[in-house]
Amino acid sequence: MQKHFYGYVNRAFALVLFLLFLLSALFLYRLKAIVEQTVEKTFFRARYDAYKILRKFTEDIITITDFKELLDSIINTFVKTLKIDKASIALFDEEIKRFKLHSSHGLKEELVKNLSLKEDDHFIVWLKGKGKIVITEELERFTADNEDIKKAWDALRLMESELCMPFIYKGEVIGFLNLGAKGDRSMYNHEDIELFLSLGKQASIAIKNAQLIEQIKESKQVIRRIERLKTVGDLAAGFAHEIRNPLVPIKACLQLLPSRYGKDPDFTEKIPRYALQEVERIEKLLREIMDYSRPRTPVFAEEDINEVIEGTVRFIEYQAKKKGVKIERGYDENLPVIKVDREQIKQVLLNLIMNAMDAVNGIGKIEVATRKVRHMLSPCGKIGEGGYVQIEVRDNGTGIANEDLDRIFNPFYTTKHESSDGREGTGLGLSIVQEIVSEHCGFVDVRSEVGAGSSFYVNLPVEIAEPKEKTGRRGEDTKIK
């Protein structure tokens, strides 16, 4: 252009001109993007906000580990942000080998309850083959010519789904999300699908993680149940002795009844009352055995920890005496009441006392003591403003080697290969102790010296915001009185 007007070319001027054109192009491109974004925000504010929320949820979803909370969060986020009238999540159930609805919104209860699809169901096979988001309305025009699509379309209509997004984990469909019509009745578009794809990938990982965590929780509950039943078996001889004790005088009273009843006023008055007291004693013992061994949901309540401990010590004392082990008490009578699950604390004490009995391995001594102490923080991250109630279980047994101290709370790690009565250690007792105490926002300390004995310190906070209650397996809520 310079040559045309001036007859020569100035390279410097040409370079400057080129750069100006380039900057203008970049500026206009950026201006176009800003204008489009401004228009989008101004005239399509609702859609912009919805996308913003969904993108944020895509980032946050991986942090939700509770299974039900995760599924409900996915459903609620879509329903609220896009004003969707219906939504549901179906997941594959390994136990029954079927896809079932686990969370839903706006669907009829009958559909939620009865929908059940086998692995080889036509729709599931078709969805696995498709492996991507499906928009129901787009399928409709192919239903007349393709029987497979017709059956898939029928299934989506049954589930009242306008869009179906499969959850794919390691190449396998583990479930799918159904979304109904949007609140503004607009069709799902390319931008929606791009956003949902990102969410679907994260959701698949989050769902699988939550399922694995649920399985771990269930496994822990089974392990605890097995350990409790094992403890009941170990204490069976003591139970038999405790039941036999009141039966002897009851039997004697019944034998004397024909000859003395009505003739001896003192006998006639006292014997029924005495027999009733002994029967109630047996009933209480059997109730404690049943309550301890049955599956149950944790119940946190204010308890006198000394009373809980004393009941547990009496529970096991006959077994200790039979082994030549003396249990001594050292309770602080001025302790405050604390919020605990009574049955779980009993399990902690039984595990520690039985371990101490094995460590003594013959004639020896176990001391169970309580006191109030002060610590700064608990594993729950709360400050125990009122301090801690500390339970100490001390024995004068074999002790624990220094190299074992860091591992004794690991599941299945045991320092005892065989106890004094021929039982092998499972390595679960102390790991269960630590887990239960942690759920109470407390912690366990141990001090030990080989040949001198061990001391276990269970520290339970006096004041905490909320105990970390966990949902147990199905069972009655029980509490030993």
Classified as helix, coil or strand, 106 is coil
Is 268 a domain residue?
Answer: yes
Cα(333)–Cα(369) distance, integer angstroms: 11
- Give me the pLDDT at residue 38, please: 54
- Give me the pLDDT at residue 96, please: 85
Specify the residue for token string 């479930």.
Answer: 175
- Give me the pLDDT at residue 317, please: 85
Looking at the fold, whether 72 and 27 belong to one and the same domain comes out as no
- Give me the pLDDT at residue 479, please: 31
Q: What are phi and psi of 447, to 5 degrees?
A: -130, 135
Is 50 a domain residue?
Answer: yes
Q: What value does the mean pLDDT take over residues 241-248?
A: 68
| Band of pLDDT at residue 203, cut at 50, 70 and 90 | confident
Q: Is the pLDDT of residue 114 over 90?
A: no
- Where does a domain end: 157, 180, 214? 214
What is the CB neighbour count within 10 angstroms for residue 192?
21
Beta-bridged to residue 98, according to DSSP, are: 93, 118
- Give me the pLDDT at residue 370, please: 96
State the DSSP code for 210: H
Cα(130)–Cα(101) distance, integer angstroms: 21
Is 409 a domain residue?
Answer: yes
Looking at the fold, whether 20 and 73 belong to one and the same domain comes out as no
- Give me the pLDDT at residue 176, please: 93
Comparing CA positions, the residue from 147, 398, 425, 441 lying closest to residue 300 is 441
For residue 339, count CB atoms less than 10 angstroms from its CB and return exposed for 0-12, middle for 13-18, buried for 19 or more: middle
Looking at the fold, whether 63 and 113 belong to one and the same domain comes out as yes
How high does pLDDT run on average in the chain? Answer: 76
Looking at the fold, whether 76 and 165 belong to one and the same domain comes out as yes
Cα(54)–Cα(61) distance, integer angstroms: 10
State the DSSP code for 229: H
- Give me the pLDDT at residue 190, please: 78
Cα angle 247, 252, 253 (rounded to 5 degrees) comes to 100
Looking at the fold, whether 21 and 70 belong to one and the same domain comes out as no
Looking at the fold, whether 281 and 373 belong to one and the same domain comes out as no
Out of 202-206, 260-264, 368-372, 399-403, give the one with best mean pLDDT: 368-372
- Give me the pLDDT at residue 116, please: 87
What is the CB neighbour count within 10 angstroms for residue 307?
12
Q: What value does the mean pLDDT take over residues 331-347?
A: 91
3-state helix, strand, coil in the chain (%, to 5): 55, 20, 30
Between 313 and 18, the more confident residue is: 313
Q: Give the domain range for residue 244.
A: 235-293
Looking at the fold, whether 208 and 284 belong to one and the same domain comes out as no
Q: Is the pLDDT of residue 371 over 90?
A: yes
Out of 331-335, 371-375, 409-413, give the one with best mean pLDDT: 331-335
Q: What are phi and psi of 420, to 5 degrees?
A: -65, -25
Q: Is the pLDDT of residue 135 over 80?
A: yes
Is 229 a domain residue?
Answer: no
